[in-house]
Amino acid sequence: MRTPSLLLPEEDQPLYAEPPDDQLLLDLGLERVISGALDNWREYSLEEIYHRPLRSREAVRYRQHVFADLQSPGLNEAARSFLQGLQRARQTLLSAQKAFARRQQERWFLDALRYYLRAVDGFAESLAALSPRSKALQEAREYLESYRSSAWRERLQSELDALLGELAGVRYLLHVSDGRIGVFPYDELPDLSSQLQKTFAIFADGGERRRFSFADHSGLNHIEEQVLEGVAKLYPRVFARLRAFSEEYQNFWDDGLRELEKGVAFYLSYYDYTTPARKASVTFSFADPAEGAPSWAKGAVELGLTLKLLQQGAKAVANDFEFHEEAAALLVTGPNQAGKTTFARMVGQLHYLNALGLDVPAERARLSLPGHYLSHFPRREDAADLKSRLEKDLERFRYLLQRAGPHSLAILNEPFASAAQEDALRLSRALLQRLIDKKTPLVWVAFLDELARLPGVVSLAAQVDEADPTIRTYKILPGRPSGRAYVQALVRKYGLTSENIAEELSR
């Protein structure tokens, strides 16, 4: 039986997209999303999964089905119990390795193994009872059943139970006198409890009661260690079996269960990160993974900003987008601080999260699986850098053009903003036309309204309030640029029309 995988189907040879570079993760706000998702899950090294978006429809659907199962309350709780049990086993093993006394290490090894087997048994029983629908979890259930019924596991369980029983039967006497401690075989002694109760009965009522607590420390001090050695000499066969057992089963952790644990951790890390948004009624849905255009989403939001706004008691404004086969270039114009950059990030984020096999913050979506995720957002110039900002921008665009094509996705935010307006317009037209010729799906946030007139471009505009054009609505809708209208609204609002100025000068 193959090693169970919650991440990749057996019959599919998944094609991965080009790994994202640091600039893309920062541009699209994915660095904040991934870091937030990994915050409480660092021990599982999930970065490699989050940094490898898929290009295979079958692999994406495979993950979507698993994640849908793990969102059901019963399976979600079972998966968490599974991870918690394995974490307890791992922590106990780590404590055993740090313990100074060898016999303490061997005893804690038994506890770690016991926690491990309980976690496996509990998850196997839950999967059998809850009947998951995804093929991956069904295969995991079969794997766990096979593992539990194997001759190796039965022998391990039998020997573990027998050894724990023998250790539980260890009895000994301590004799403390004149600063010396002696360890002796246990003999039946008369029950003195009734005599003690009678002797101290006078203190039972009316006396001051005090509570005592004993320190619970993990290590043994030198006295306790010597006592343990004395006990081991009284029961040499039991402690010899303990040592032989811990040596024989030292590598008990099954590789298949490691993969299963990591897969469960991946889905729960994202689920926990997005839980505040889910509880706040933000809609998440599994997108239809598509091989190409049209690619669209309805009622979508940018995840990182949404979670930040929820912490502030506010809500994000949802938007739609669509890439047509005929026109895959979305050009977004509008006033500053109107949501254009957030919209561009949202488009990139949704495609990327979908390619990880996760649900996306949108009411409905059909999203392509790009082979290359391309981005360019403005950067501040570094005084220590000998290259100008424009030179670095041109180098970045050359890198993007080498990878651009129908199976790419480009998100560009105000390219050539560092150049003079005439140069920026000429360079922008050339770059935009090259990307259109390559049939590259792209979102271009523009400060140059003239670009919206190029053929093959879908013009989108950031909206403002009809009654007061200075108020942003953060809605991005199809429409021609109307930058002059914003300028005129601002001029009127602040009393800077030619009439206002003339009147002021005449005073």
246-304 pLDDT, tens digit each: 999 999 999 999 999 999 999 999 999 999 999 999 999 999 998 777 899 999 999 99
Please state which of the ranges 114-118, 280-284, 488-492 shows the lowest mean pLDDT: 488-492
Concatenating the DSSP letter of every residue in 151-201 gives HHHHHHHHHHHHHHHHHHT--EEEEEETTEEEEEE-------HHHHHHHTG
pLDDT digits (tens, 9 = 90+) for 300-353: 999 999 999 999 999 999 999 999 876 689 999 988 888 999 999 999 999 999
Q: Is residue 15's pLDDT more than 70?
A: yes
pLDDT digits (tens, 9 = 90+) for 357-407: 999 999 999 999 999 999 999 876 665 665 677 888 888 899 999 999 999
What mean pLDDT value characterizes the chain?
A: 88
- How much is the pLDDT for 383? 55
- How much is the pLDDT for 488? 57
Confidence of residue 12 (pLDDT cuts 50, 70, 90): low
- How much is the pLDDT for 481? 77
Domain with CATH 3.40.50.300 in the chain: 280-506
Concatenating the DSSP letter of every residue in 432-485 gives HHHHHHTT--EEEE-S-GGGGGSTTEEEEEEEE-SS-TTSEEEEEEE----HHH
Which CATH architecture describes the domain 280-506?
Answer: 3-Layer(aba) Sandwich (3.40)
- How much is the pLDDT for 218? 64
pLDDT digits (tens, 9 = 90+) for 56-67: 999 999 999 999
Please state which of the ranges 8-17, 135-144, 185-194, 250-259 shows the lowest mean pLDDT: 185-194
Q: Is residue 447's pLDDT more than 60?
A: yes
Task: Name 177's bridge partners.
Answer: 180
Query: 492 in helix, strand or coil?
Result: helix
Please state which of the ranges 155-164, 168-177, 221-230, 482-491 shows the lowest mean pLDDT: 482-491
- How much is the pLDDT for 141? 97
- How much is the pLDDT for 436? 92
Q: How far apart are CA 492 and CA 476, in angstroms?
A: 24
Query: 396 in helix, strand or coil?
Result: helix
